[in-house]
Structure 1
């Protein structure tokens, strides 16, 4: 899937300097993955999805145009019909049964049902100037960060900035760990998914959903590293923050007898190194470019917003009928370690 050279050149000529931060409510929780396993119903493991309600089993470009097919979005900005999704977190009890971990809204977004907080940045989160030039994504753009099958630290080195924060309170943002926290977290566990920030300027997608994007040559997005010559176009940093409310599972007597941490992704990974997230661009028209051109920090007066109540009302149709709540003998799809 490619974008023509003229369009790419126009994108390069359009500077954008801004930081957007907004909440998105849960759109649906289903065992579907139109990026990795398009057309497969159900997919191997469970995902939590936010964004436009045209999310479906298969979403080919250009046939599946999210802004025109969606009638609502679970995100604060009504022009954003993109879809974002991650795996779902489960607690594994000492007897081997699993229970889905609920989510908690961040401060100022109370009342949001599940979901995540989404960032689009030109520079580091703490940099209020946001001076760097970035190019907004194009229709049909999609990408994947992380690998669900990874279970070791060495494997996880393939990706940068996929981390966890053991939250003492709503203000907690450090320290960050690469694997799951080893001790109980008073408020919960925040999963941080930071996507690559360099694009080849041609391909909207690639077979593995990764090769068209890259990390800076050195360091990270926050450290101002230069994009490699193979991927010269600097795109916004997308950061997803999901706060999993693990407070109900903090009793050490409920944790594994060997003292290891008890949380697992719905993919079956209990190390935390299999953290992953998917993105399918779906902003209406050129609204994202205009917002990034707005030189704003967090606020975006050029975009339309909706209330949390309206966000909560936006849901996708149920396409997989299965139980993923309550105490389960195995993870949905059969992943993880079965009950003894």
Structure 2
């Protein structure tokens, strides 16, 4: 069963209208979506379209990948549990490789995308599927996290700049009722942000945290032209993902419409999931650090200017381990490391053992 025209209006209005109707954090934004066999809106080497090619998890190529089972009968939680400043854990994952591949946007089409820097699963490529990623080798500290994480590669001139060491990928509560957050369904995937967005759209995107940072410079929509030339200075960016799921699809043609950002409950300051995306999932936040400083005038992304930053997530966690981390750290109101340990609450213990595995 496919969404009604009212649910995905942008998909039915055509790519030309979609390109002009992009709103900040809009669920109708196709972003880095797959190339259509018909007309597509191009920009900086990208294609804006609403159709996909049959491949892997989506053999009919219609762009909809149903969840099995679907999650129904959920009402967005409006509860306000005891306040806890933190409800999160980290997935610390290192860079594995780079490639002009994107198994979400261009499945089965190697070399089709701009260059991406991949983290987590070491096998991620254009042909990756849920089954090929699940149980695979990973650079994440927790061996059970075989998910694929990727973003446009960063360059200084023609030289690729890769993050060094484990990068911080937060899993947080995006809603006020952190006790209502449940694990990602196996095979869920989505794109965060939009390579087509303007600087103003990037600045006002729901996922915007502090923009591009270096030294004492914050909230930059574009990559600064210079940063302090010191060993302790790197270029940083933080960006948050939507955390409310429709419970129906693991992916949709624009790779976004099955997900939504929380909304503010009228008359309160509480963040709740909207009624059409009632399932609260962890909110992913990329916190990336690139070892580059000094003269930054030639620094750019493979997708274009700094405000074209976006990233992709393809869930392939082992289910029991992810549930243990979500329950212990997010639902439990803790600030956990990649083991599920909170140094300020040692009495709570850890979700994983010293090898980052379920005990």
TM-score with structure 1 setting the length: 0.68
Q: 2:27 maps to what in 1?
A: none
CA contact (8 A) 2:174 2:262 kept: no
Task: Give the 3-state SS of the residue equivalent to 2:134 in structure 1.
Answer: helix
Match of 1:135 in 2: 182
C-alpha separation in 2, matches of 1:276 and 1:231: 22
1:156–1:274 contact (8 Å) kept in structure 2:
no
1:336 paired residue number: none
Cα distance in 1 between the residues matched to 2:354 and 2:224? 35
1:175 to 2:218 alignment: yes
Report the secondary structure of 2:235's partner residue. Answer: strand
Number of residue pairs aligned between Structure 1 and Structure 2: 265
Q: How does 1:236-251 map to 2 (within 5 A)?
A: 236-247=282-293, 250-251=294-295
Q: Distance in 2 between matches of 1:145 and 1:52?
A: 19
Q: Residue 56 of structure 1 aligns with which residue?
A: 125
1:103 maps to 163
- 2:24 is aligned to none
Specify every segment of 5 or more residues in structure 1 that has no aligned partner in the other structure, as ranges. 93-97, 105-111, 256-260, 308-340
Match of 2:336 among 290, 293, 298: 298
CA distance in 2, matches of 1:298, 1:12: 25
Cα distance in 1, alignment partners of residues 264 and 284 from structure 2: 19
Indicate if the aligned counterparts of 2:195 and 2:308 stay in contact, CA closer than 8 A: yes
Alignment CA distance shift 1:159-1:12 (3 Å): closer
User: Which residue of 165, 172, 197 maps to 1:150?
Assistant: 197
Aligned to 1:79: 144
Q: Which blocks of at least 5 consecutive residues in structure 2 are unaligned?
A: 1-64, 341-349
Aligned mates of 1:304, 1:178 — CA distance in 2: 40
Change in Cα spacing, 1:44 to 1:288, as seen in structure 2 (3 Å) is: same
Distance 1:225 1:87, change over 3 A: same
Distance 1:160 1:52, change over 3 A: closer
Provide the secondary structure at the position in 2 that maps to 1:50: strand
Q: Which has the higher strand share?
A: 2
Query: Aligned equivalents of 1:58 and 1:241: distance in 2?
Result: 27
Give the counterpart of 1:28 among 97, 109, 115: 97
Q: CA offsets per residue over residues 202-251 of structure 1, 9 Å max, x none?
A: 111111110001112249xxx7422211111111110111101112xx14
CA-to-aligned-CA distance 1:7-51 (integer Å, 9 cap, x gap): 5559999x9994111421111111211111111121231111111
Q: In 1, Cα distance between the equivalents of 2:98 and 2:76?
A: 37
Which one of 166, 170, 186 corresponds to residue 119 of structure 1?
170
In structure 1, C-alpha distance between the alignment counterparts of 2:353 and 2:114, rounded to whole Å: 34
* In structure 2, C-alpha distance between the alignment counterparts of 1:305 and 1:40, rounded to whole Å: 39
Maintained 8 Å contact 1:31/1:46: yes
- What RMSD in Å do the two structures reach over aligned CA positions? 3.2
Correspondences of 1:1-340 after superposition (within 5 Å): 1-4=65-68, 7-8=71-72, 18-61=87-130, 64-68=131-135, 70=136, 72-92=137-157, 98-104=158-164, 112=165, 116-122=167-173, 131-154=178-201, 157=204, 159-161=206-208, 163-168=210-215, 175-186=218-229, 187-218=233-264, 224-247=270-293, 250-251=294-295, 261-267=297-303, 269-270=304-305, 272-294=306-328, 295=332, 296-299=334-337, 300=340, 301-304=350-353, 306=355
Q: Secondary structure at the match of 1:27?
A: strand
